[in-house]
Amino acid sequence: MLTNPEIEAVLISLQVAGVALAWILIPGIAVAWLMARREFPGKALLDGLLHLPLVLPPVVVGYLLLLTLGRQGVVGQWLNAAWGVTLPFTWQGAAVAGGVMAFPLLVRAVRLSLEAVDPRLEAAASTLGAGRWRVFVTITLPLTLPGLLTGGVLAFARALSEFGATITFASNIPGETRTLPLALYSLIQTPGGEAAAARLCAISVVIAMISLVASEWLARRARARLQGRDA
């Protein structure tokens, strides 16, 4: 039913999006916490920077990634020298592009949900002897869970659908960086690829639906628990 290159594209996409999400999850929570709970100079600037990938053309983001993380880029040279890591034209590079594009969505969702957590509950926990870290892990984070799930799914979907930044930074290499959207694009460019393109299109819809339904179900469960119903 599916040809090998198609299966390959699906797997690469899931891998790229999964790795991207795994990499941005903890920094995303940390930055969201910073934005929700702390006042510091330059906060507005950071807020603007965080939202930049949402408003910039993805190709610009990809080009900026190439400039910094590319072989000639400052960070890229260091990565190569210190760790032997090369990002451009690799699937890891595609994950970086997806992660950068997905980051603001994750931060936004987690931040909103952190702001809704009642700080009085955290204060109560600290009077019961819980240090800052324990309060965060046992009170703040669980109460943020619905937002975290929503944000996680949004970010995953964003990374999965990434096109512009990926093709600019990681290129369109079959079996390496050719994700679903890139494969779809390639098929559209190829005469006679319509049927395969339709199949990939259907797969995209299915994956998106599954993640949406799953996240909705998980978030509902989490909310039900917070409202004291057995889920």
Partner 1 sequence: MSLLELEVRQRLGDFSLELGLAVEEPGVTALFGPSGSGKTSLLRLLAGLDRPEQGHIRLNGETLVDTSRRTWVPVHRRRLGVVFQEARLFPHYRVRGNLTYGMPRHLARRFDAVVELLGIEALLARYPATLSGGEVRRVAIGRALLSDPRMLLMDEPLTGLDGARKAELLRYIQRLAGEVEVPILYVSHEPAELLEIADTLVLMEAGRVLAQGELDALLQRCDLSEALGGFDAAMRLEVRVQAHDTAYGLTHLRLEDGQSLSVPTLQASPGQRVRLRVPVRDVALALAPSAELSYRNQLAAVIDQAWAPPGDPTTMELRLRLGEQMLRARLTRHAFDQLGLVEGQHVTALIRSVAFAQREL
CA dist 216 and 231 (Å) reads: 13
Q: Please report whether residue 138 would count as binding partner 1 according to CB under 8 A.
A: yes
- Report the amino acid identity of residue 206: V
Residue placing its CB nearer to partner 1 in the complex, 22 or 124:
124
Residue placing its CB nearer to partner 1 in the complex, 40 or 133:
133
Q: Please report whether residue 124 would count as binding partner 1 according to CB under 8 A.
A: yes
Half-sphere exposure of 85 (CA within 13 A, CB side): 13
C-alpha to C-alpha distances, 2 to 17, 173, 179, 199, nearest whole angstrom: 21, 19, 15, 8
CA dist 118 and 116 (Å) reads: 6
Q: Please report whether residue 125 would count as binding partner 1 according to CB under 8 A.
A: yes
Q: Please report whether residue 137 would count as binding partner 1 according to CB under 8 A.
A: no
Q: Please report whether residue 130 would count as binding partner 1 according to CB under 8 A.
A: yes
Q: Please report whether residue 142 would count as binding partner 1 according to CB under 8 A.
A: yes
Cβ–Cβ contacts within 10 Å for residue 158, how many?
Answer: 22
CA dist 50 and 183 (Å) reads: 29
Q: In the bound complex, what is the minimum distance in angstroms from residue 122's beta carbon to partner 1?
A: 10
Residue choice 129, 189, 192, 195 for contact with partner 1 (CB under 8 A):
129
Which span sits near partner 1 by CB under 8 A: 49-57, 97-105, 122-130, 170-178? Answer: 122-130
**8-state DSSP, 219:** H
Residues that bind partner 1 (CB under 8 A): 118, 120-121, 123-132, 135, 138-139, 142-143, 225-230
